[in-house]
Chain A
Amino acid sequence: MNATSVPGKGHIEIRDVCVRFTQNGVPLDAVSDVSLDVKPGEFVSIVGPSGCGKSTLLNIVAGFLKPHQGIVSVDGSPVGGPGADRGVVFQQYSLFPWLRVRENVEFGLKMKGVSRSARETKARTLLGLAGLLSFENHYPEQLSGGMKQRVGIVRALATSPQVMLMDEPFGALDSQTRVVMQEILTNMWQQLQLSVLFITHDIEEAIFLSDKIYVMTARPGRIKAEIPVPLPRPRTPEMTSSPTFLALHRQLKALIREESLAAMGGELKEGGLAGHDWHVGAEGVGAML
């Protein structure tokens, strides 16, 4: 599917994973019987209605959460906890405010015991790739949201992980910045040849970036559909108006809409929900007059 994929490294396997939370003493299934694969070098997105457990799934691969059932492994070795072999980019800005941009990028290398000069070289190279070299001595608070998130990506890449886990990394950005960030990300991904597991609720973003998209159901989250994206690489902004793109968009939107309605409480049909709302609105206006 992806011509640039390298055999071997960065294979994420999720097998029959269940996660159960206890809410007010009642056990609640957040994720149920999920199995999925991210092949080496593949860019895979998970989309679904809010609260479907897509972030939970990512937290399991990152090692922050243990599943109650099932196995998660990267390149055959089961995930036991967080580690620098899996780079994570969070939705919230997560740069250390007390470190300068370059020191933030160097953090993972410092933990590995890499020498100061080697750290500096690596960090500056990566910052250069991301167009951030002139900001290496800034503190995070002095950067815009898009730049902070770019530094976050660069920091996660610094330890050369085979796998990147990204939890709605562009969710807090405005739409223009978002589009630019998506292009930067695809470029870096192609150069570095990593596997990416990407969580988003933005359908367009998922299609633009991915080789394959998993759609999850409302809670408890299951895999509802696995949809390959046959668009060629490199992706360009013009592709977002191609027939293939639009057809995928329509298909995914319909799938997610079903689940969002289910999540909102259920038995209401699409037409019924809209009609009912309208009726109440008209009555409300009448009562006010």
Chain B
Amino acid sequence: MLLALVSIGLLIGFWYLATAYRWDFYIRFTHIPGPVEVYRDALALFGDPKFMTNITISLRRIMLGFIVATVLGVGFGLLIGRYRAARGLLFPAMEILRPIPAIAWVPMSIMLWPTTETSIVFITFLGAFFPILLNTMHGVATMDSVLVRAARCLGANEFALMTQVVLRGAMPHIFTGLSVGMGVAWVSLIAAEMISGQYGVGYFTWEAYSLIEYSHIVIGMLVIGVLGLLCSGAIRLLARLAMPWQVSVGKENTR
């Protein structure tokens, strides 16, 4: 805890000194705002409803894109992981699309979707979709097959098997996918907002650069960082609620 404070203190101290003395040795701190200036402007900004709108809009885009990615990623992941026919039919097509970074979809997305808003949500979705899909598939594949056999001879039909055994068994991997997917979704969202956006924290940060409001760039970056942190924290909390057996196992081991 103490070391953490020292670590953060050093970072802010370096930032302060570099900006106060206008360090210009290959890296140029000449136009970079210092921590005091940023703090002052941040206070003003947090009372500004327009700035808050930017935050809520970014969060809404993340939620929409991420929820759709979770539903489709987990759904397809379970199908592809469990049924050979689904794998044969769906997976090759997805493998072609997978290496294309979500950001590369921006121009295409703008043409595909009726509004800028939906195209940005689509980019966010793409970022989250593939990590969730692949981890779900992996979770199904690495699940102990004796559990499926046990469920079948206890009378589970295919639907019960999917929802009560395969899904539950793959859950630790699914949550890994959700964590990774959330990270990639933020990367994709910010890039999409910077390129094509109206509103959103990414747009705000880029706009600050154009408007020469340099302290707002730093504020935008910090806000993006904090929002990302909160979102991955939410996933971890959700994981703990959805998988209580893993928590109890951990407790037992540390005793």
List residues of chain A with CB under 8 Å of any chain B CB: 62-64, 81-84, 86-88, 90, 92, 94, 96-100, 107-108, 111-112, 139, 141-142, 155-156, 159
Contacts and interface: CB of A to CB of B under 8 A. Distances in A.
A162 to B, nearest CB: 14
Given A98-B171, A111-B155, A159-B154, A141 B245 contact: yes
A64, A96, A97, A98 pick with most chain B CB within 10 angstroms: A98
B160 A90 contact: no
B150 A111 contact: no
Nearest to B160: A111
Interface of B: 144, 146-147, 149-157, 160, 165, 168-169, 171, 243, 245, 248-249, 252
For the residues of B in contact with A, the DSSP-based class is: helix
A8 B213 CA distance: 88
Given A98-B245, A139-B248, A90 B155 contact: no
Contact of B149 (A82, A86, A98): A82
Nearest to A88: B153
Contact of B154 (A98, A108, A139, A142): A108
A98 B243 contact: yes
Secondary structure call for the A interface? loop
A119 to B, nearest CB: 13
Nearest to A84: B155
Contacts of B152: 64, 81-82
A97 B252 CA distance: 14
A112 B153 CA distance: 12
Contacts of A155: 154
A92 B143 CA distance: 14
A156 B152 CA distance: 11
17 contacts: A64-B149, A82-B149, A83-B155, A84-B154, A84-B155, A86-B153, A87-B153, A92-B144, A98-B245, A107-B154, A108-B154, A139-B248, A139-B249, A141-B248, A141-B249, A142-B249, A142-B252
Contact of B168 (A82, A96, A108): A96
Contacts of B252: 141-142
A83 B146 CA distance: 15
Given A63-B153, A141-B245, 14 more contacts: A62-B149, A64-B152, A84-B153, A90-B146, A94-B144, A96-B165, A97-B245, A98-B168, A108-B155, A139-B249, A141-B249, A142-B252, A156-B153, A159-B154
A182 to B, nearest CB: 22
B157 A94 contact: no
- Give the interface centre of A86, A88, A112, A156 by most chain B CB atoms within 10 Å: A88
Nearest to B154: A108
B168 A112 contact: no
B228 to A, nearest CB: 29
B146 A98 contact: no
Contacts of B243: 98
A90 to B, nearest CB: 5
A94 B155 contact: no
A61 to B, nearest CB: 10
A63 B150 CA distance: 12
A155 B155 CA distance: 12
A248 B243 CA distance: 50
Contacts of B154: 84, 107-108, 111, 155-156, 159
Contacts of B149: 62, 64, 82, 88, 90, 94
A278 B165 CA distance: 52
A98 B143 CA distance: 13
